[in-house]
Structure 1
Amino acid sequence: MKNFETERLILKPASREDAAFFLQLYNMPKFIQFIGDRNLRTLEDAERYIENRFRPQFDKLGFGNYVVILREREEKIGAVGIFEREGLDVMDIGFSFLEAYEGQGYAYESAAHLKATIAKRYGVNRLSAITTEDNHASQKLIEKLGLSFRKHVMLPGEAVELRYCESD
């Protein structure tokens, strides 16, 4: 599995060594509000989540969820990924960042780079994105990435209707 790099960022495939970071990221109030509670309460929960949710897709497809690292400080600041998601026919792009790094263009830079790289290397040209109705910041980023609203969807096992966007 390869790292991808931009001018300011390194995108590293998520691994067990990132468990503490995902434990922090996935328990942020905004993550739980806008994306959902992944029930990660311990380091072991996060390790299992990475092994059971992220690794199989890397093994199957060669790409998946990446930790976004700020190059200049080698600091983990967020995650971006392209996923096979139950209930969606089109691969889904998703992202989440620590609050201190929001609004600085890192999400767009990493997501746009990953989108272009996966299209070039793996031929995945059509992407979807889902978000809650009230997650306006993500909606703006999704539009900037070239995806537009198509419909509302309910994913299996979820209780909240989501906005479904797809690339043109």
Structure 2
Amino acid sequence: MYLTEENRGKIWGDIPYAVECLEGLDGDFLEKVYQRHVKEPWEILQTDRLIVREMAEEDLDALYRIYDQPGIEDVMDGLSGDREEERAYVRAYIERAYPFYGFGLWMLVERKSGRCVGRAGFFMREGFDEPELGFIIAREAQRKGYCMEACGAILEYGFRELGFERVQALAAERNGASLAVCRKLGGQRSGSIVWEGRSFVRFVWSR
């Protein structure tokens, strides 16, 4: 929809996109609009070994494989025990979170094999103003440097493309691997907090 002074104040609940300058309608924009329409995940970025892209409903099996780790719920929120409930959540996340925020948690896909090896990206935690970096790597893909490779590129994307001024991460005090990743990525420790009964160390990155 093309915004004008006459229609700017109206509510257009069924209109997913609006523009106020036709010069912004380049090929990349139109391709992304088409991908949203046909529910095709956006590719966010690529690294040497990984493709970072939005989730698709077809990733459900991969998500359960990635989150199948001992003690996962001690350090982060897990998935629902009801697969159909989780499928509905994933569908709603794709349809609402990505378009609303312009970012979210994304899939990490190994370029060589096409296999999903993790999940990382940004989300908003209730009670905080800064977007939060979150990440998880599948057990079989750990100790290969994938987390550092993906999160380093994602942080850069957040500051450069999304215009973030600050980003935070909460790493569980008992999760040595996550603590190490945040330190190696240059995060500055900013105290500790207890969230839903779990203790976390807070790290912050600034532009």
TM normalised by structure 1 equals 0.89
Partners of 2:125 and 2:95 in 1: CA distance: 14
Q: Find the residue that maps to 1:122 and give its secondary structure.
A: coil
| Residue 136 (structure 1) aligned with residue 207 (structure 2) | no
Equivalent position of 1:154 in the other structure: 194
Tell me which residue corresponds to 1:78.
Answer: 118
How big is the shift at 1:53?
4.3
Maintained 8 Å contact 1:4/1:12: yes
Q: Do the aligned residues in 1 keep the contact of 2:66 with 2:139 (CA within 8 Å)?
A: no
**Contact map agreement 1:23 1:42 (CA 8 A) in 2:** no
Structure 1: runs of 5+ lacking an equivalent: none
Deviates more, 1:24-33 or 1:131-140: 24-33
Aligned to 2:51: 10
Question: How many residue pairs align between the two structures?
Answer: 165
Stretches of structure 2 lacking an aligned partner (at least 5 in a row): 1-41
Matched, 1:163 2:201: yes
Q: Report the alpha carbon displacement of residue 30 of structure 1 after superposing the two structures with TM.
A: 4.2
Structure 1 residues 52-63: aligned runs within 5 Å: 52-53=92-93, 55-63=95-103
Deviates further, 80-89 or 104-113: 80-89
Question: Structure 1 residues 15 and 100 mapped into 2: Cα distance closer, same or farther (>3 Å)?
Answer: same
**One-letter amino acid of the counterpart of residue 54, structure 2:** P
Q: Which has the larger radius of gyration?
A: 2
Partners of 2:106 and 2:121 within 8 A in 1: yes
Bigger drift between 132-141 and 56-65 goes to: 56-65
Report the Cα distance in structure 2 between the residues aligned to 1:142 and 1:107, rounded to whole angstroms: 10
What is the identity, as a one-letter code, of the residue corresponding to 1:56? R
1:23 aligns with 2:64: yes
Give the Cα separation in 2 of the matches to 1:153 and 1:75: 35
Could you tell me how far 1:3 is from its partner in structure 2? 3.3
- Out of 146-155 and 112-121, give the one that drifted further: 146-155
1:36 is matched with which residue: 77, 88, 93?
Answer: 77
The Cα of 1:55 is off from its aligned counterpart by 4.4
Alpha carbons 1:25, 1:31 under 8 Å: kept: no
Quote the Cα distance in structure 2 between the aligned partners of 1:144 and 1:125: 20
The 1:53–1:153 alpha-carbon spacing in structure 2 relative to 1, beyond 3 Å, is farther
| Higher RCO (CA-CA < 8 Å; seq separation 6+) | 1
Shift of 1:144: 1.4
Structure 1, residues 17-52: CA drift from partner, whole Å, max 9, x if none? 2111112223422422321334x2233122123234
